[in-house]
Structure 1
Amino acid sequence: MPISPKKLLLSKWTALTPINREKHFLVSRVIIPEDGSPMTHVDLQAVHSQRTETIAWRDLEDAAVWVIGWK
C-alpha cells in the first residue's frame, strides 16, 4: 500500500522487530527542508518512552520492518 507523505503526521506505526524493547511509534514531526525540496525524513516517537528518532520516511514503506497502525 503506498504511503502518502501528506498523511504521515501523527500516523501510528508498529515495528515488527522491537527497537529498544519498544514497538509502537507515532510520527511526531515531518521534516521539510528549508530549500523547498520534497520532504525526506520524519521524527518517530516511541509511545512508551517518548524517545524520538529521525528516519527517512521511505523506510516506513518496508513491510518487513514496519506495519501501519498499532498491532
Structure 2
Amino acid sequence: MNAAPGKAARPNQINPDKLYLSKWTAVVPQNREKHFLVTKLLLDEEENVIGCVLEAVLTNREQRLDWRVLKDRACWQPGWR
C-alpha cells in the first residue's frame, strides 16, 4: 500500500495482548532473514507489554525490540509475505 503524496503511511495496527506468536516480514531483509515470529513478550512489573523477542525463521537468531517498532510499515509488514 502506497501513501498518497504528502501523507504518511498508516502505522500497522497492533494489539500488544495478541502479539505473542504473531508473524512478521522484514521489509528490508538482512542476512537473508525475512520472516520472523514473536516468541516471547517482555513485560514490566505491572504485566504491561514493553517489548518482544523476534526469532528469524531461517536462522533462529533472536532479537529483542520495543513492540512499537513493529508499527513502522517502512520496516515491518504483518504476516509472512
Q: Same fold (TM over 0.5)?
A: yes
What residue number does 2:18 align with?
7
Deviation, structure 1 residue 53: 0.3
Structure 2: which 5+ residue stretches go unaligned? 1-11
- Alignment of structure 1 residues 32-71 onto 2, 5 Å: 32-33=43-44, 35-36=45-46, 38-71=48-81
Identity of aligned residues (%): 44
Q: In structure 2, what is the Cα distance between the partners aligned to 1:67 and 1:10?
A: 15
Q: Normalization by structure 1: what TM-score?
A: 0.91
* TM-score normalised by structure 2 residue count: 0.81
Structure 1: segments with no counterpart, 5+ residues: none
Q: Is 1:22 aligned to residue 48 of structure 2?
A: no
Are residues 67 and 6 of structure 1, via their aligned partners in 2, closer, same or farther at CA, if it must alter by over 3 Å? Answer: same
Question: Which entry has the higher C-alpha Rg, 1 or 2?
Answer: 2
> 4+ runs of 1 displaced by more than 4 Å?
none
Does the residue aligned with 1:40 lie in a helix, a strand or coil? strand
